[in-house]
Structure 1
């Protein structure tokens, strides 16, 4: 068992090196351009069915090319070279019923809503903003880069937990492990002038760290009592650049609590719904909770220049 774990860790380290090399050679830019093309595909022909087939064919052929080029047939399940298998997910997901996004041009805004009142919204595809929903969380006062840095540095096996199934997302940042994030210079941590902005996220699933940070927040109290929740949550933090446009490869609906800073979300329908649905942006503030079916809405985020954003994200269903 220990031997198998060592082999898996060694494989993941090799994949991270491959990912870093690929990005340095420009692969990341190519992936994002192709991905952006799919997100922004316009249905110019009258036959929408043929366009759907074209989208799938383009994405599928691109994936085959990447796989062939980088010999990753046996390692796609690690989600390292293609973060979260976004392109694979796009190519293999079923075509959407565009009713989910028709006439949706802005989020539903809710305030002071009870669990009983929220039932009517609970399992819609979103987007929904519940204003000031987490204002009582201790996390809004206590969470910081330093808190997480100290927790991970003093907890045995903390970084290994990310090698054993907890996902790390670097988005467009040149940091490829959480250990690299927590080893940045003080100037870069604070995003001082002349430093590269950074933004990352990860699954916070080390049991000791998870138990510690859960002292600072709770699952939003308006969510259904009978809902299923995963055993872990995700943390996202950083400056300016935010998350690239993507779909989430998750099992349930998503909620995200904006602990610190402001953030703009950009939403777009899946490509086959471009002819009936619209792209739009919305803005969230500290204390807000965003709810969205991120499996069928393409989404990206960006943070105002100079601001530090931190969020807690999880699922329910």
Structure 2
């Protein structure tokens, strides 16, 4: 459906035919135009797959961060990781140039996300903000600072090129290409098994540091490892999608509502729901103002903001638990 819907509607039968013909040439009779084929195979199909990868990755990171911080409001956007990734991507695009070729933007985005993570951890240690709530507040503060620095980079950049960074500031999947999909796929393949294997440790972390320590978990090292893994995933996703907020906040809550609190179930369900959600968000972004392509960050921001308010209301109604 994500491939079919858009400014130019393509019947699902044509979509299946194009895909079948690409996978196995000559399998079906070609009764569609070259233009339709280009829309399906070159534009929308990689876009939908990228949406699935990014949604899955951000949801996975959000679930893991909510466990190690014991804060239901934690996600890569609120903790400044997304902002750091975007700042790294902007630095590569406007100032350093593509010195590593196609890898430059993902590498710089990861470096920015990792730096933002380290800054958040340093701020919490410097201020003595050891509680989970204060960790989120530190992340929000760091996010504002990093975005201010990113705006300075934009201001100092070539005015003729600054329009390209709007993609990273507002989020979008319109630049998806088949050659780009290898990087988010590789990151998910490398990091997802680690987090799935650590599901029991994440369950212990949700109870408390002391309990986790009695179970033999090196709490500080494990928390730092999860933050670094989260920065790696977020940095690469931001490099190809821009800043997409609230996916990591919403999806783990929905997953826990559906399957309970055990991370052996929450993590894989978050992966699946995150992919589905962002595909649907991209469909809305392509259709709400067709033929204009609305930045997907606006769609997730609107939905996520409402969800955030409802979540705060429910927590308040539970006595702040």
TM-score (norm 1): 0.24
Task: With a CA cutoff of 8 Å and minimum separation of 6, indicate the structure with the bigger relative contact order.
Answer: 2
Q: More helix by proportion, 1 or 2?
A: 2
